[in-house]
């Protein structure tokens, strides 16, 4: 899709969201890098899961591009906020509270996750704190992802250089990884990874 139409969709979503409650993650550099990556994919008619939907921006972006979207977050307020924005935009999303995949029984063509990835000793802010090396949620996601991908399905995952992405690639060699967007920030480099199951490559 063109940058212009992608920006147009984003503008609509941000207007519908209005002010975001302080407890809910407000879109940041990581979010917009995910949007740039998703803009390169054809999502129309696809069955999409947005894990950790937060303000709902990624799920809403796909829904406005005619995907069939499920948005999930551990925070009920994030789900309520996303539901309000969806109503204003006139799009339908399935929304549910879920601890990563805990309440998700089904499989998807496309699974998105912009995780809390900052290295932390505990979880003080659940929107950003990711445990040791910021990898707690990323590891849970990678462990459980294979059961939630349809045949030929892919996942789009944001990681930071703080998460040692090379060792993640080595540890999860059941996936084929490629980097589809990256951005250097002041103290880290963000990468958007595209993952598919290695034994599914022929699809
Ligand atoms: C960095 S924010 C990303 C929000 C939004 N997807 C975006 O790109 O702007 C991470 C999100 O993950 C959610 N989250 C944290 N722990 C979670 C868990 N165990 N299961 C599901 N979502 C979780 C947070 O509530 C937050 O909304």
| Residue pLDDT, tens place only, 80-99 | 999 999 999 999 999 999 99
Ligand 1: which of 34, 127, 144, 160 to mutate, most ligand atoms within 8 Å of CB? 127
Q: How far apart are CA 67 and CA 156, in angstroms?
A: 15
Average pLDDT, the chain: 94
What pLDDT is attached to residue 5?
A: 86
HSE-CB for 13 with a 13 A CA cutoff: 25
What pLDDT is attached to residue 67?
A: 97
Percent over 90 (pLDDT), the chain: 90
Q: Work out which ligand 1 atom sits closest to the CA atom of 54.
A: 27
pLDDT tens digits, 120-156:
988 898 999 999 999 999 999 999 999 999 999 999 9
- Using the predicted structure, report yes or no on whether residue 42 has a pLDDT greater than 70: yes
Confidence of residue 203 (pLDDT cuts 50, 70, 90): very low
Residue whose Cα lies nearest atom 4 of ligand 1: it is: 54
Model-level pTM? 0.96
Residue whose Cα lies nearest atom 12 of ligand 1: it is: 52
Q: Work out which ligand 1 atom sits closest to the CA atom of 137.
A: 19
- Per DSSP bridges, beta strands 68-73 and 47-51 are parallel
**Pocket of ligand 1 contains residue 125 by CB under 6 Å:** no
């Amino acid at each position: 899709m063109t940058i212009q139409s992608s920006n147009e969709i984003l503008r609509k979503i941000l207007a519908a969201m209005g002010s975001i409650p302080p407890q809910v993650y407000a879109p940041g550099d990581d979010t917009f890098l995910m949007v740039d990556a998703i803009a390169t994919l054809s999502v129309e008619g696809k069955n999409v899961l947005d894990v950790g939907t937060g303000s709902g921006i990624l799920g809403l972006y796909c829904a406005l591009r005619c995907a069939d979207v499920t948005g999930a977050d551990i925070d009920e307020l994030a789900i309520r906020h996303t539901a309000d924005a969806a109503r204003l935009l006139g799009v339908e999303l399935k929304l549910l509270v879920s601890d990563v995949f805990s309440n998700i029984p089904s499989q998807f063509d496309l699974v998105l996750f912009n995780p809390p990835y900052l290295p932390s000793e505990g979880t003080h802010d659940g929107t950003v704190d990711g445990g040791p090396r910021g990898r707690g949620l990323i590891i849970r996601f990678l462990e459980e992802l294979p059961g939630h991908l349809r045949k030929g399905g892919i996942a789009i995952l944001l990681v930071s250089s703080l998460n040692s992405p090379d060792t993640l690639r080595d540890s999860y060699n059941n996936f084929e990884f490629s980097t589809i967007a990256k951005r250097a920030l002041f103290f880290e480099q963000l990468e958007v990874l595209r993952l598919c199951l290695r034994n599914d490559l022929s699809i």
